[in-house]
Chains A and B, each alone.
Chain A
Amino acid sequence: MKILVAVKRVVDPNVRVRVRPDGQGVELTNVKMAMNPFDEIAVEEALRLKEAGKAEEVVLVSIGPAQANETLRNGLAMGADRGIHVQTDARVEPLAVAKLLKAIAVEEAADLMFLGKQAIDDDANQTGQMLAALLGWAQGTFASRVELGEGRVSVTREVDGGLQTVSLKLPAVITTDLRLNEPRYASLPNIMKAKKKPIDVRTVESLGVDISPRHTVLSVTEPPARKAGTLVASVDELLDRLRNEAGVL
Chain B
Amino acid sequence: MATLLIAEHDNTNLNELTARALTAARAMQSPVTLLVAGSNCQAVAEQAAGLGGIERVLVADAPHLAQQAAEPMGALIAELAQDFQAVLAVASSTGKSVLPRAAALLDVMQVSEVTKIVSPDTFVRPIYAGNAIETIQSSDPIKVITIRSSAFEPAGQGDASAPIVAVPTPKTRHCRPLNARNWRRRTGPIWDRRASSFPGGGHSARRKHSTSSSNPSPPNSVPLSAHPAPPSTSGYAGNELQVGQTGKVVAPDLYIACGISGAIQHLAGMKDSRYIVAINKDADAPIFHVADYGLVGDLFEILPELESKL
Contact = CB atoms under 8 A, between A and B. Distances in A.
Contact of B131 (A125, A144, A179, A223): A223
B157 interface: no
B133 A160 contact: no
Interface stretch (B42-50, B202-210, B283-291): B283-291
Contact of A235 (B182, B253, B309): B309
Contacts of B102: 133
A51 to B, nearest CB: 22
Interface stretch (B25-33, B54-62, B69-77, B160-168): B69-77
Interface string B218-242: 1100000000010011000011100
Nearest to B141: A214
Nearest to A95: B109
A179 B239 contact: yes
B76 to A, nearest CB: 12
B20 interface: no
A226 B275 contact: no
A120 B190 contact: no
Contacts of B306: 235, 238-239
A190 B186 CA distance: 40
Interface residues of B, number: 92
B159 interface: no
A13 interface: yes
A84 to B, nearest CB: 21
**Size class of the contact patch on chain A:** 35 or more
Q: What is the interface of chain A mostly: helix, strand, loop, or mixed?
A: mixed
Contacts of B293: 229-232, 238, 241-242, 246
Nearest to A166: B178
Given A136-B175, A138-B175, A235 B302 contact: yes
Given A238-B277, A242-B254, 15 more contacts: A120-B246, A129-B97, A129-B100, A136-B174, A138-B176, A141-B93, A160-B93, A164-B183, A169-B176, A177-B239, A178-B239, A179-B239, A220-B133, A221-B133, A226-B271
19 contacts: A16-B131, A126-B110, A130-B103, A133-B104, A139-B70, A166-B178, A166-B180, A167-B179, A168-B178, A169-B176, A215-B109, A215-B136, A221-B133, A223-B132, A229-B276, A238-B295, A242-B275, A246-B274, A246-B275
